[in-house]
Amino acid sequence: MSAENSHSVAPVSRFAIVCLVLSLLGASGLGVLLSIGAIVQIRRDGLRGLPIAIAALIISAVSCVVLLVFFNTLRF
């Protein structure tokens, strides 16, 4: 048995990957909520992908702020 087979590696959270894709597609509000859920799941289940979930959270939060500022500056 080689050294590679003796250690099991935790899988990457698919939830975190979905959150990153959603945040890049512009689903900012949903991305924030799902990213927080992914972070909780990663810590609870011991999965990998925490940097992905944090990146998704940051991208979603920044896009939320940009959208709020943009819509508040519009004059109807």
Range of the domain at 57: 19-73
Domain count within the chain = 1
Task: Indicate whether 23 belongs to any domain.
Answer: yes
Q: Is residue 25 part of a domain?
A: yes
* pLDDT given at position 6: 61
Query: What's the confidence (pLDDT) of residue 57?
Result: 95
Whether 5 is covered by a domain: the verdict is no
Residues 6+ apart with CB under 8 A from 55: 20, 23
pLDDT attached to residue 58: 95
CA angle 29, 33, 38 (to 5 degrees): 135
pTM: 0.81
- Which residue do the tokens 């959603």 mark? 22
Digit-coded pLDDT (tens) for 34-49:
999 999 999 999 899 9
pLDDT tens digits, one per residue of 16-69: 999 999 999 988 888 899 999 999 999 999 899 999 999 999 999 999 999 889
Among candidates 50, 44, 46, 43, which has minimal Cα distance to 16?
A: 50
